[in-house]
Structure 1
Amino acid sequence: MNYSDSETRQWAMFLHLSLLAGVLVPGAGFILPIILWQVKKNELPGIDAHGKMVTNWLISAVIYGAVFGLLSFLLIGLPLLGILGIVSIVFPIIGAVKANEGILWSYPLTIRFLS
């Protein structure tokens, strides 16, 4: 989806970048994106699709983290947890750049719970 409204693009970018808030404040990367999405989705309809994408990624990342955490007992999960950490930083940045360009970018490896 493409959005041309500059305010929608700006808030969509903030929504994606808010996933990185957990780097500064533990748990904020889970709470802040959902709050931004819920507050802005009625005011700016284009935000709803970005909010669903971000929420789907959050849920997917938690599931992947739990599975990889269990696999770490077999030593397979340790590198997978490292990769998950890297993509949890890279994906929101790419999503924010694309949102600022007016594009809804689908995070790879995301399980679609909300559509």
Structure 2
Amino acid sequence: MRQDNQLIVLTHLSQLLTFITGFGGLIVPFIIWATQKETVYKMDRQGKDIINFQLSILIYSLICIPLVFILVGILGFVIIGLLAFVLPIVNAIRASNGESPKYPLSLNFIS
């Protein structure tokens, strides 16, 4: 296995594609993780964390849709949007320093 912090950082930052293109924040990190988990050190664990976080964001967003009618969903969407924007950046910085990422409120779909 090879150490490639730049690819791990790129994987974390690729989650931000959702804000640029409207999609891709789950697809691109999944492709990078699936193709590189056997060859890049720490990619398997961090890739799983990224996928779990993106799936959690999707689930939380789906929960907020019916809650919009009682105005709680709007606040939920704002919080989800902030978390989905800030946490990939923070964890990319952590990954560049060799630390493990931390995605709070992330459900464990892939262990």
Does 1:62 find its partner at 2:50?
A: no
Aligned to 1:17: 13
Decide which of 75, 85, 89 is 2:85's aligned counterpart. 89
How many angstroms apart in 1 are the aligned matches of 2:98 and 2:12? 13
Aligned to 1:80: 76
For the residue of structure 2 that corresponds to 1:29, the secondary structure is coil
Unaligned runs of 5+ in 1: none
Moved over 2 A (4+): 5-8
Aligned to 1:71: 67
Deviation of 1:55 after TM superposition, in Å, equals 0.4
Task: Call closer, same or farther: CA 1:6–1:100 in 2, change over 3 Å.
Answer: farther
Q: What TM-score, normalized by structure 1, do the two folds share? A: 0.89
Decide which of 36, 39, 45 is 1:43's aligned counterpart. 39
Give identity over the alignment, percent. Answer: 32
Unaligned runs of 5+ in 2: none
How many angstroms apart in 2 are the aligned matches of 1:12 and 1:68? 30
Deviation of 1:114 after TM superposition, in Å, equals 1.5
Native 8 Å contact 2:12 2:92 kept in 1: yes
Decide which of 99, 106, 110 is 2:106's aligned counterpart. 110
Q: What TM-score, normalized by structure 2, do the two folds share? A: 0.92
How many angstroms apart in 2 are the aligned matches of 1:69 and 1:104? 32
Deviation of 1:8 after TM superposition, in Å, equals 2.3
Calculate the aligned-residue CA RMSD, in Å.
Answer: 1.6
Deviation of 1:6 after TM superposition, in Å, equals 8.5
Deviation of 1:45 after TM superposition, in Å, equals 3.4
Deviation of 1:7 after TM superposition, in Å, equals 4.2
